[in-house]
Chains A and B, each alone.
Chain A
Amino acid sequence: MHNLDEWQVPQRQSPASIFILFLKTLWETIKQFWFVLVIYLLKGRQAEQPFSFQWIIWGFIGLSFVITILKYWFYKFHIQDQNLHIYSGWWKRKHLTIPLKSIQAVHLEQSIWQQLLKVAKVSFDSSGSEQVEARIEALSLKKAEILKEILLQEAENNTSLNENGLPAPAENKKYQLSETDVLKLSLSANHLRAFFVLLVFAVKFFADAEELLDADQREAMEEFKNSTLNALSWLFFAVMFLLIGGVSVVVSAFRVFMEYYNFRMEETPKGWKVAHGLFTQKQKAINRSKIQLVTYRTNWIRNLLDFWFVDLSITGQDKLKKQARINIPLTSLESVQSLASQYLPHANIAKSGETISKAYWLRKTLTTALPMSLVLVGVLYLLSKDWKTSILTASVIGMYWTIHLRIWQKKFRWLAQEDGLVIFKGVWGKSYTLLKWQKIQQASFTQNLYQRRQGLASITFVTAGGQASIPYLPLTTAQMLVNQTFYRIESKQETWL
Chain B
Amino acid sequence: METTFSNNLILLEDIPLIETVTYEPLERAYLKIQKIWFFILMPVFGACLITSFFFIEQIQYIWLMIAVGLAYVLVGLLYWVGEDLSFRYSGYAIREHDLLFKSGWWVQQVRLVPFNRVQHLSIEAGMLERRYKLASLHIYTAGSAEADFTLYGVKREIAEKVKDFINIQIRNTDIDHA
Question: Residues on A close to B: CB < 8 A?
Answer: 81-83, 89, 91-99, 101-102, 126-129, 131-132, 134, 292, 315, 322-323, 440-449, 452, 462-467, 479, 482-484, 486-487, 489-490, 493, 496-497
Contact = CB atoms under 8 A, between A and B. Distances in A.
A484 B113 CA distance: 14
Interface in B98-152: 98, 106-127, 130, 138, 140-149
A442 B112 contact: yes
Contact of A462 (B15, B110, B144, B173): B144
Contacts of A92: 124-127
B177 A493 contact: yes
Given A127-B119, A446-B107, A487-B15, A292 B143 contact: yes
Contacts of A443: 111-112
Interface of B: 10, 15-19, 97-98, 106-127, 130, 138, 140-149, 163, 167, 170-171, 173-174, 176-177
29 contacts: A92-B125, A96-B120, A98-B119, A102-B120, A126-B120, A127-B141, A128-B142, A128-B147, A131-B148, A440-B114, A441-B142, A442-B111, A442-B112, A442-B113, A443-B112, A444-B109, A445-B112, A446-B109, A448-B108, A452-B108, A462-B146, A464-B143, A464-B147, A479-B18, A482-B18, A482-B112, A490-B97, A490-B114, A490-B116
Contact of B116 (A322, A482, A493): A493
A441 B114 CA distance: 7
B120 A91 contact: no
Contacts of B106: 448-449
Contacts of B17: 479, 483
A102 B111 contact: no
Contacts of B98: 486, 490
B177 A462 contact: no
A45 to B, nearest CB: 24
Contacts of B149: 442
A493 B176 contact: yes
**What's the dominant secondary structure at chain A's contact region?**
mixed
A496 B142 contact: yes
Contacts of A467: 144, 146
Nearest to A490: B97
Given A126-B120, A496-B117, A466 B112 contact: no
A256 B174 CA distance: 47
Given A99-B170, A493-B177, A483 B140 contact: no
Nearest to A461: B112
A91 B127 contact: yes
A135 to B, nearest CB: 13
**What's the dominant secondary structure at chain B's contact region?**
mixed
A486 B114 contact: yes
Contacts of B120: 96-99, 102, 126, 128-129, 132, 134
A489 B122 contact: no
B122 A132 contact: yes
B79 to A, nearest CB: 18
A316 to B, nearest CB: 9
B81 to A, nearest CB: 14
A441 B113 contact: yes
B15 A465 contact: no
A126 B120 CA distance: 9
A136 to B, nearest CB: 15
A91 B126 contact: yes
Given A464-B143, A486-B98, A442 B117 contact: yes
Contacts of A479: 17-19
A102 B121 CA distance: 12
Residue among A82, A292, A443 with max Cβ neighbours from chain B (10 Å) = A443
Residue among B108, B123, B142, B174 with max Cβ neighbours from chain A (10 Å) = B142
A88 to B, nearest CB: 9
A495 B107 CA distance: 33
Given A446-B110, A462-B141, A493-B116, 20 more contacts: A91-B126, A92-B125, A95-B122, A95-B123, A97-B167, A99-B119, A99-B167, A127-B141, A131-B148, A323-B143, A444-B111, A447-B107, A464-B143, A464-B144, A465-B144, A482-B18, A486-B18, A490-B116, A493-B174, A496-B142
A321 B47 CA distance: 45
Residue among B146, B163, B167, B173 with max Cβ neighbours from chain A (10 Å) = B146
Residue among B112, B124, B127 with max Cβ neighbours from chain A (10 Å) = B112
A467 B149 CA distance: 15
Nearest to B130: A93
A442 B141 contact: yes
A99 B146 CA distance: 21
Contacts of A465: 143-144
B174 A101 contact: yes
Contacts of B122: 94-97, 132
Nearest to B115: A490
Nearest to A95: B123
Contacts of B113: 441-442
